[in-house]
Structure 1
Amino acid sequence: MVVDFLITSPPFDLLTDSDLHRVAQNIEVQYYRKGHICGHSTLGGLRIIRSGAIDIRSEDDRLLNRMGEGESYNLEALFAEYPDAIVRLYEDSLLYTLPDDIYQQIITRNRDFARYYERQVNRRLRRAARYTPEPHNLMRRVSAHMSRDLLVLNPQTSIKEAAALMSDKRVSSAPVVEQNKLRGIVTDRDFRSRVIAKGLDYERPVSDIMTQQLITLSENSTLFDATLTMVKAKIHHLPIVAQQDKDSLVGIVTASDLMLVKQDDPVYVVQHIGRATNTESMKHVVDGMPQMMVEWINAGIKVAQISHFLTAISDAVTKRLIELAIEKFGPAPVAFCWLGFGSQGRAEQLVNADQDNGLVIDNSATPEQLTYFSRLAKFVCDGLNECGYVYCPGKIMAMTDEWRQPLSIWQQTVSKWAQSPTPDAVMRVSIFFDIRAIYGESALCDQLQEHMLKTASSNSIFLAALADNVLSQTPPLGIFRRFLVERNGEHKDSLDLKKRGVIPIIDMMRIHALANNIKAVNTKERLQALVEAKVMTVKDSRNMQDAYDFIMQTRAEAQAATIDKEGIEAVSNYVDPDNLPEHHRHHLKDAFEVVNNAQNTIRLRYRGGI
């Protein structure tokens, strides 16, 4: 039955019963032989593939897209997406054709149905990747909650007058502005600690007591960003500045503005961890993360923000363990920096993350002083393991001698990897080059990253070896866009979304970043930087971001469902596509196709170094 076939094929599941039957009653059946070309002469209406497949090819015969059974297209929209394309039947095919007059009536009544065919792959995937049922309160813009009616002081205002004005206005802080530029902030605490406690003359200018080294956020930041910033910096007043002008004050957020944030939100988890006195109390908090992730998914929070939350929590655990280690072993003898690699380095962690970390130490350290860092690293890595961030199976941890070195040794190691890109070296690079300072002297991390980028960007052989690694994992799509699932084993009939979807995207953005000396590590930030460097077009960058978001969202939702039903122990990166709604499977195929096309670019651009 035509209706039975249509209802399983998106976007016909969006139609009312009456419209669905109207479509079925007006379907025309046409059979075409392999090689038939669909031209511009009959653009209207819809073509629905009942059996067979079509190719969309460029003028130079490069495959742009392939559609199979159950997929439909509007030629006018296709040619808008691919202006110079040739639409050719890949094999003998049976097509359902819906006349243009009926198609126009349907899309007039159903905007969602119409949108499906507008920029068929790109826009459809973008809507799927960005749909959010209801934004969580933490994800609201800080600009919607900040105070705008501010008492603004001049640097020459006297301390006495400033106190009187603040008292009259009943405010606990006042920004200091000169020539429309934010110069500082004065708070009640400043009057107590810098005026009364020190017996300072009340007639002195307020510039003498204001805080000048300000921590600010832009107006486009979220409440999560604001709250986390205030907790980390231990401040109660946060100036908000214009997105395009960091000296232009637009408002202030105070601790009282954020009191409505629920106690189970991640910023309070971070705050609680920061006060922990032992590993056990941190473990108790971290044990609740899987269920919290389920709640965030159910609340409609997008996976990019969830991974931001979870990374902030793992950062907080790491920092507190280092502080406890310093309390136990004493202050560090020389400067050091704790490094986060992999998903923690990119700030893209989900649940069940293992450890990937290292330690870079100032070159002045003596052999005796290096022993201190060995004890510190073991204390921290053991603590992370107790808190659920299990030991790295490949021993990529600061407690391993190789991953705890002075800066100069690290730099030598990176040079050696680049000069001799063995499979083992390439594997290590894939983790190590996603690097971020977690605690300590961040300049050491910066110097290491600068050496890393300089070494990689100038070595075409090394980039070619990385490209081979990037291309070793292809998206699980076969001919006619059919999913290639596991054939046996525990995950039979399932897709590994991390290995075959997420990792290829991360790897591709990393090699582009390394080749072009781009410091960004987070995947989204790399995509933006690659556009700014004109390495990628805006369109390709957006498509890749949407593909990454959709695959990650599918992965996170599957993990949350598993946690809810079976517990954290059963969580994996696999999903059975048959358990996904039809439209979701279709979007997933779109995402994998974007990845596949991007890998072709990697092949052409970097493998020449071989």
Structure 2
Amino acid sequence: MTDALLPNILQFIGQIDPFDKIPKNALRTLATQVQITYLGKGEVIDLCTAEQEKSLYIVRTGSMEQRKVDGVLRAKLGPDDMFGFSVLGKDASSDKGYRAIAIEDSLVYIIPQTALQTLFSAHPDCAEHFASQAQVRLKSALDVVWSNKEKGLFIRTVGEVASGRVAVVTADQTIQAVAHEMRMVQRSSCAVIYDNDTIVGLITDRDMTKRVIAHGVAIDRPISDVMTHSPLTIKPDDLVLHAASVMMQFNIRNLPVVEDNKVVGLLTTTHLVQNHRVQAIFLIEKIKYAGSIKSLASFTPERQAIFEALVDGRVAPEVIGKVMTMIMDAYTRRLIQIAIDKLGPPPCNFSWIVAGSHARNEVHMLSDQDSAIVLSDSATDNDRIYFNHLAMIVTNGLASCDYPLCPGKYMAATPKWCQPVRVWKEYYKKWVSNPEYERLLNISVFLEIRTIYGNSEYETTLRDALHSNIRNNREFLSTLVNDAITTNPPLGIFNNLVLEKSGENKKTLNVKKYAINLIIDLARIYGLAVECDLSATDERFKAANSQNALSDDAFKNITGAYQFILSLRFSHQLEALKQGQKPDNNINPDSFGSFERKHLKDAFRIVADLQEAAKVRFGSR
């Protein structure tokens, strides 16, 4: 390369992520080693052969596509795009390689691996941006977008805030012995009570005053006589915000922190007051005591403000989903109680269940209503009339609070979705045994369910029935795969290749249709394959990974891709809200810089790879 070309090369690569993060002197040194090659249409750079020198390639002009050894499309590339990561790292031996083919005349810059290694030796922080593994690059990208500084309570876990001091006793110990353990040994305001290996009770210092001293109970009596039975507990990796919501909902001051049935700490209301004051907690509290639907509807701007603060504050996407879900839960529970106050006590046992993003704890500003009512098998026709009225009050109330009605009418107010347990079990049996289009659509909505009010045992019964039916008809998973792969991720995001062709969203990328939904579908399939009882997308992938249905690499890849795509979606929606526009899922690719383009291509390729893996594993026809 002649010195005359150096300024042009520097100017070009200096504005491309991640070269824009390299110190200027180091970038100039690297630029002097750039090689330039011209490829005519149809010419190939073959990265399948060991003889090919390891290098990083940047498309300067033109366009190319990557093809795997078997000819399957890996990605499409345009100006500013890079390839060659997978043959640079230590894991390159596990990569079968691919061919990069010019689909029009193209100018390509080549940076030899030796030049990059010299850069990494001098500047180790740069290495992650050029990592050979996609999940490392995506994590690096998320670390840039979602800074770990000053995120506050929203991402603090219970384990970070809770006290390690908690008394652990057995049910046959005396009241006096337990009081001694609490006061003199652990100096804890609370004791957790076991019977064999099971947590059976809880006692606090306040309970001791009210139940023992005030009533003159003999202190040589067993603690089981005065304990609170079947106490609520929390996990160390749960959000503090979730714990606070539970404490307010059930009016409790102490939550034992339990991991693998072992008490590891205690969370108290004092911990919350001492550590943080968070707007979302107070919104949930206000919702809980709202006296009317009109009052609830007045909180909508505050809910939007919380969403904006979370996204603006660079909180992780999964945390944003959980916080917004807790708020929607609070609205729904309060509306159910308002309906019961108006209609009178329920005539029989029931469960209000939610589906879709609400069930997955992935609520966002565009989430609509997906719900159903499961009734006791003893329910009469008159009982069903009562619940139809209740459902109308709740669903219309949610609509007044800016949670849109479901366009497909998958709501408890639709009589078909307000049925006894036995009818729901028949639904699942019919859907799994013969999943025609309409039935497949029905079960796709109700493949994730979560109880937010009423008898939670009905949810367990229905989930067990679903798993049992799938166990007896393994072809159902194959059908789900066939449906999930009818849409492919956008392996090219330039020259309008994957953009909407008409309508008001013309020339935009629907990130929900072409990416987020595909990942959710794959999570459903892998989750059902291992009979996972959890609904969240990341939890389903985690369950599949723990049962060896999904490799460690595939798990890290797909969860990293999901979080990165969600982060872009939330940022896009935030920008719309700030401009007073209605948020949507349609992003104009012209707004992508090289940073977003590069990492989106990683993410889309990961989704395509997992679609292929699912086809192989579950026998897609």
Mean CA deviation greater in 599-608 or 587-596: 599-608
My pick for the range that moved more, 497-506 or 512-521, is: 512-521
Unaligned 5+ runs, structure 2 = 1-7
Residue number in structure 2 paired with 1:246: 261
| Cα distance change, pair 430–261 in 1 and its aligned pair in 2 (3 A) | farther
> How far did residue 259 of structure 1 move?
0.6
Is residue 2:20 matched to residue 1:8? no
- Give the superposition deviation at 1:43: 4.1
Equivalent in the alignment of 1:269: 283
Q: What amino acid does structure 2 have at the position aligned with 1:137?
A: L
1:82/1:588 CA distance change after superposition, 3 Å: farther
Q: Does 1:83 align with 2:100?
A: no
Q: 1:218 aligns to what SS in structure 2?
A: coil
CA distance in 1, matches of 2:266, 2:310: 27
- How far does residue 235 in structure 1 lie from its aligned partner after superposition? 1.1
Aligned AA (2:235) = S
- In the TM superposition, residue 256 of structure 1 has moved relative to its aligned partner by 0.9
Contact 2:193 2:200 in 1 (8 A): yes
Q: CA deviation at 1:224?
A: 2.0
Q: 1:142 is matched with which residue?
A: 158
1:73 aligns with 2:84: yes
Structure 2 match to 1:448:
462
Unaligned stretches of 5+ in structure 1?
none
Structure 1 range deviating more: 301-310 or 370-379: 370-379
The aligned residue for residue 512 of structure 2 is 498
The question of whether the paired residues in 1 share the 8 Å contact of 2:372 and 2:412 is answered with: yes
Matches of 1:418 and 1:433, distance apart in 2: 11
Aligned to 2:298, what secondary structure does the other structure show?
helix
Determine the C-alpha separation between the residues in 1 that align with 2:86 and 2:316. Answer: 33
Out of 438-447 and 186-195, give the one that drifted further.
186-195
Partner of 1:22: 29
Partner of 1:220: helix, strand, or coil?
Answer: coil
The aligned counterpart of 1:377 is 391
- Return the offset for 1:172: 3.9
Question: Aligned partners of 1:547, 1:219: CA distance in 2, in Å?
Answer: 26
Tell me the amino acid that sits aligned with residue 26 of structure 1: Q
SS at match of 1:405: strand
Alignment of 1:331-370 (within 5 A): 331-370=345-384
* Displacement of 1:583: 0.8
Letter in 2 for 1:37: D
Query: 1:425 is matched with which residue?
Result: 439
The separation in 1 between residues aligned to 2:534 and 2:583, in whole angstroms, is 30
The match for 1:600 is: 612
**8 Å Cα contact 1:458-1:515 kept in structure 2:** no
Give 1:287 shift. 3.3
- Structure 1 counterpart of 2:598, which letter? H
Give the corresponding residue for 1:48.
Answer: 58
Aligned to 2:46: 37
Shift of 1:311: 0.8
Q: Is the 8 A contact 1:396 1:403 kept in 2?
A: yes
The 1:141/1:519 distance shift into structure 2, 3 A limit, reads closer
How far off its partner does 1:100 sit? 5.1
Match of 1:122 in 2: 135
Change (3 A) 1:362 1:484: same
Q: Which amino acid aligns with 1:110?
A: H
Residue 310 of structure 1 corresponds to which residue in structure 2?
Answer: 324
Q: Which moved more, 1:290-299 or 1:166-175?
A: 166-175
The CA deviation string for residues 571-609 of structure 1, in whole angstroms up to 9 with x for no partner, is 111111221331112111211111122222344455646
Q: Give, as a single letter, the amino acid of the residue that structure 2 aligns with 1:269.
A: L
- RMSD value, Cα: 3.1
Following TM superposition, by how much is the alpha carbon of 1:84 offset from its aligned partner in structure 2, in angstroms? 5.0
CA contact (8 A) 2:526 2:541 kept: no
The answer (yes or no) to whether the contact 1:126–1:543 under 8 Å persists in 2 is: no
Question: Could you tell me how far apart the structure 1 residues matched to 2:122 and 2:508 are?
Answer: 38
Tell me the residue number matched to 1:576: 588
1:583 and 1:487 map into 2 onto residues whose CA distance is 25
Query: Is residue 67–residue 481 contact of structure 1 (8 Å, CA) maintained in 2?
Result: no
Secondary structure of the residue that 2:452 maps to in structure 1?
Answer: strand
The residue type equivalent to 2:326 in the other structure is A
Identity of aligned residues (%): 29
1:398-547 matches, cutoff 5 A: 398-459=412-473, 462-478=476-492, 484-547=498-561
CA distance in 2, matches of 1:416, 1:183: 40
- In the superposition, relative to structure 1, how do residues 332 and 587 fare at CA in structure 2: closer, same or farther (>3 Å)? same
Query: Deviation per CA, 1:215-257, whole angstroms, max 9, x where unpaired?
Result: 222333332232223223321112223x3x423x332221111
Q: Establish whether residue 194 from structure 1 lines up as the match of residue 211 from structure 2.
A: yes
Q: Contact between 1:528 and 1:541, CA under 8 Å: does it hold in 2? A: yes
Q: 1:602 to 1:283 in 2, by over 3 A?
A: same
Q: For the Cα contact (< 8 Å) 2:66–2:101, is it kept in 1?
A: no
2:4 maps to none
Is the CA contact (8 Å cut-off) linking 2:153 and 2:278 kept in structure 1?
no
- Cα distance, 1:525–1:74 mapped onto 2, change above 3 Å: closer
Secondary structure, in 3 states, of the residue corresponding to 2:345?
A: coil
Of 222, 225, 230, which residue of structure 1 is paired with 2:242? Answer: 225
Q: Residue 504 and residue 104 in structure 1: after superposition, are their counterparts in 2 closer, same or farther (change >3 A)?
A: closer
* SS at structure 2 position matched to 1:252: strand
2:228 maps to 1:211 = yes
The one-letter amino acid paired with 1:25 is T
Bigger drift between 105-114 and 524-533 goes to 105-114
Tell me how many residue pairs correspond in the alignment: 604
Single out whichever of 281-290 and 456-465 deviates more from structure 2. Answer: 456-465
Do the aligned residues in 2 keep the contact of 1:335 with 1:440 (CA within 8 Å)?
yes
**Structure 1 residues 336, 157: CA separation in 2 closer, same or farther (over 3 Å shift)?**
closer
1:481-531 Cα offsets, whole Å, 9 max, x none, are 986222333223221111111111111222333355433321111101212
- How many angstroms does 1:462 deviate by? 4.4
Q: In 2, are the aligned partners of 1:14 and 1:112 still within 8 Å (CA)?
A: no
Contact 1:238 1:253 in 2 (8 A): yes
Q: Give the AA of the match of 1:125.
A: L
Q: For residues 265 and 82 of structure 1, do their structure 2 counterparts lie closer, same or farther at Cα, with a shift above 3 Å needed?
A: farther
Instruction: Tell me the residue number matched to 1:292.
Output: 306
Counterpart of 2:590 in 1: which secondary structure?
helix
- Give the match for residue 96 of structure 1: 109
1:442-463 per-residue CA deviation (whole Å, 9 max, x = no partner) reads 1112222222233344335644
Tell me the secondary structure at the aligned position of residue 186 of structure 1: strand
Taking structure 2 as the reference length, the TM-score comes to 0.88
Question: What is the Cα deviation at residue 555 of structure 1?
Answer: 0.5
